Amino acid sequence: MTDKTPAKNESLLHELQARLAELEAQNAELAAARARYFDLYQQAPVGYLTLDEAGLILEANLTAATLLGMPLDALIGHSFFQFVLSEDWDACRLRCERLFATGQPQSCELQLLKPEEERFWARLEATVAQREDDGPVCRCVISDVTAYKETDLRLRQLSTAVEQSPVSIVITDAGGAIEYVNPKFTQLTGYTLEEVRGQNPRVLKSGELPAQVYEELWQTITAGGEWQGELYNRKKNGECYWETASISPLFDATGRITHFVGVKEDITERKWADEALRESEARYRDLAASIPGAIYQFHIDCEGAYTVSYMSDGAEHLFERPLSELTDSRLLFSDVHPDDLEGLQQSITEAARQRCRWVHEFRIVLSEGRIKWLRASSNPGQTAEGGLRWNGVLLDITERRQAELALRRSEAMLQRIFEILPVGLWFTDAGGKLLRGNPAGIEIWGAEPLVPPSEYGVFKARRLPGREEIAPEEWALAHTIREHRVITDEVLEIDAFDGQKKIILNYTAPVLDDTGELQGAIVVNVDITARKRAEEQLEHYAAELQRSNQDLQQFAYVASHDLQEPLRTISGFARLLAERYQGQLDEPADEFIIFILEGVGRMRDLLQSLLAYSRVGSHELRPYPVKVGEVLRQVMNDLHVALAESDTEITHDPLPTVWADPVQLAQLLQNLIGNAIKFRGAAPVHIHISAECRHDRWKLSVSDSGIGIEPQYHEAIFEPFRRLHTAEQYPGTGMGLPICKRIIARHGGRIWVESVPGRGSTFYFTLPVPSGRA
Ligand code: ADP
């Protein structure tokens, strides 16, 4: 063993050295690896913890310390439960116990609490490890899953939203095959997910929409866009419905379309409601257009600013402006008459304050200054924003205003007339009670006794001409109230309340309404006391005059007639004296005899004229329809010698038949034509007779081309014995025209002259048209 030993030992030594070197190398390598692994352990993306059975932290890596928010040194020796929320302690302990009892790995997710009260979601995975020297320990991997947890929550919320969504949701793959539909889809269409999975959504197509709609839809979404529109689809039970659809593609990370999502809402009811709304709006528009005037809406906000939100078409007609201008809030009051603007705005403010119904009438000014009256009414209502909404109606009340104005004017006029009317006027109510009298009425009666019929007895009067007293129920007014009749021309002698006796004309009339119902009565009293007295006076004078006229006529007649006798005696003896003693007396005596004879002749002419004049008045007038032409012929016949001698020409118009006494008419024409012949100048005279009808009279005229008459004598020549010339110049007595005047007066007519001296005269006279003929 010895000789072998050194060599053996040496090789052993070598081997040992080699092994040592190897071991040292291995050791160095191990140390390096250990350092590397320690780093890895410390810096691992998850935390490592080693806990004992009580939960005390025995070991931890840096990641775990960072997660738990503590320095690594401080962490060792801490209880892990310190980081667990108290409500999770029980569950945690239970899992720990189970881990150590069964050796089964345990995992859970729970919220941990850092020392700064900050929380985070952690995932814990625990296994049991057996230590060589000591009991078992728990090795726990801890990771922060907060981000994952939040995403998970969001996803959960989203999927719940999709599931619970009140709109239907359809998800298809990129080829359009349905992968998912939500419960609302099933509820709406009747198709379950199982029934439509793998199908194309066109199973819902109603066939009522044009193919173009679907083409467009598909083009939009396959190009990556979102399509929105309305679809008309069919349910499983065949019923059709409207839906709005919004379909958009989903992309993967590379931008490739992987799915399409459709969100659809059933709008059938809304469609019907829209339709109904459209219809009702159209109806309302029609209504708004057909009512007179316009409907409007404007708002007043809290700051008092106006916004016109609606004006019906009728406003264009009212304001004579296009609607676009009328809904411009800045122009709202621009047409209002300047005098009415303040009142209008004040009334709006007042109604806004009181929140009461608002009615206001005002003027607007249109083109060329024309004025229109409008009546605006509204019920102001509060808006959600705290402002006011004015919905109202505008009406054109110009005509009504004008009528009112006219009514007011005529009322004022009537009132004025009532006051100044010179006749008495009284009004009663339907029961006959006197309501009021005008000043003239009160003056007539000397009081204003506003009494009912039962007290008509206060009026004392007698009916003329019989003078019978009038009983209260016999008053004309009482009759009018009872019988609704008009009573006229009642002449009464009244005892006025001031004691005077008066004569009045009494007139009563009922006032009826449109239906003939009695509204009241009016009484008209005309005080004719003065007139009656004057009439009586006049009658008296007329009688007097007639008597003295008759006396005068009698006297004239008697005088002219009786004077003829002594005149004839004088003229007889004067003629005898001339025959027997002419030339036997001296020259002046002969001359005197001639003077006597001339004077007697003139006296005879005068007496005869006077006699003719008084006969016109004393003889009875016998008028009847007389042809003027015939009378003229007879007169011309009587005057033919004078006409021939004077070379006078007579012409005439067609002559009428008049109502006249033919003898007097002949006398008239004879006088006028005789004068025309007599008062001619050097040249032969031309006489023309014409006639013209005026209402119930004939106006006849005799015109000549004679010497004419100065204007100042046109009246005087009709007075008796009035002459403008001496008997030497033109013979005559001055009684011709007075006789003419008397004849015409007896026929109820008039005679006058128009003349230009040197040019001729025209005598006009009027005579009645025979009744029934012109
Ligand atoms: P007399 O013819 O006898 O003079 P009248 O009474 O007939 O009396 O006329 C009164 C006067 O009126 C006349 O004297 C004459 O001056 C004037 N007169 C009447 N007729 C005419 C006439 N046709 N032309 C001019 N003067 C007239």
- 720 cis-preceded (ω within 30 degrees of 0): no
Query: How do beta strands 178-181 and 168-173 pair?
Result: antiparallel
Both tokens assigned to 199? 């199908």
Closest CA to 434 of 525, 567, 527: 525
Is 717 touching ligand 1 by the criterion CB < 6 Å? yes
Amino acid at residue number 389:
R
Residue 475 burial (C-beta neighbours within 10 Å; 0-12, 13-18, 19+) = buried
Q: Tell whether ligand 1 has an atom less than 6 A from the beta carbon of residue 706.
A: yes
The confidence score (pLDDT) of residue 36 equals 82
pLDDT score, position 286 = 79
What's residue 774's pLDDT? 39
Over the stretch 52-93, which tens digit does the pLDDT of each residue have?
988 999 999 999 999 999 999 999 999 999 999 999 999 999
Percent of the chain beyond pLDDT 70?
Answer: 99
**Do 314 and 288 meet the contact criterion of CB atoms below 8 Å apart?**
yes
CB of residue 668 inside a 6 A radius of ligand 1: no
Distance CA 485, CA 711 (A): 57
CA of 712 to the centre of ligand 1 (A): 14
Q: Is the CB of 178 under 6 A from ligand 1?
A: no
| pLDDT at site 100 | 92
The structure tokens listed for 333 are: 């009051």
Q: How far is the CA of 722 from the centre of ligand 1 (A)?
A: 9
Instruction: For a ligand 1 pocket test, name from 610, 673, 723, 756 the mutation site with the most ligand atoms within 8 angstroms of its C-beta.
Output: 723
With tokens 């199908």, the residue in question is: 199
Among the residue ranges 188-202, 522-536, 610-624, the one predicted with the least confidence is 610-624
In whole angstroms, what is the distance from residue 632 CA to residue 634 CA? 5
Please determine, for residue 772, whether its predicted confidence score (pLDDT) is greater than 60. Answer: no
Best substitution site from 679, 726, 751 to test ligand 1's pocket, by max atoms within 8 Å of Cβ? Answer: 679
Q: Which residues pair with 502 in a beta bridge?
A: 494
Pocket test for ligand 1, best of 670, 675, 689 (most atoms within 8 A of CB): 675
679 C-beta closer than 6 A to ligand 1: yes
How many residues in total does the chain contain?
Answer: 774
Q: Across-strand partners of 427? A: 436, 522
Residue-wise pLDDT tens digits, 715-770: 999 998 899 998 889 999 999 999 999 999 999 999 999 999 999 999 999 998 88
pLDDT category at 3 given cuts 50, 70, 90 is low
Atom of ligand 1 at shortest range from CA of 609: 3
Q: Which candidate, 653, 646, 564, places its Cα nearest to that of 609?
A: 564
Q: Is the CB of 732 under 6 A from ligand 1?
A: yes
Distance 675 CA to ligand 1 centre (A): 6
DSSP 481-549: HHH---EEEEEEEEE-TTS-EEEEEEEEEEEE-TTS-EEEEEEEEEE-HHHHHHHHHHHHHHHHHHHHH
Give the pLDDT score at 77: 92
pLDDT above 90 (res 386):
no
**Does the pLDDT at position 283 exceed 70?**
yes
Query: Mutate which of 609, 704, 707, 717 to test ligand 1's pocket (most atoms within 8 Å of Cβ)?
Result: 717
Angle at CA of residue 152, ends 163 and 98, nearest 5°? 115
Average pLDDT over residues 558-570: 83
Q: What are the phi and psi torsion angles at 506 (to 5°)?
A: -110, 135
Between these two residues, 637 and 160, which has the higher pLDDT value?
Answer: 637
Calculate how far, in angstroms, residue 715's C-alpha sits from the geometric centre of ligand 1: 12
Closest by CA position to 424, among listed 504, 485, 503: 504
* For range 18-47, the mean pLDDT: 85
Ligand 1: which residue has its CA nearest to atom 11?
A: 723
pLDDT for res 198 = 93
Instruction: Read off the pTM.
Output: 0.40
Q: Give the pLDDT confidence score for residue 773 in this predicted structure.
A: 43
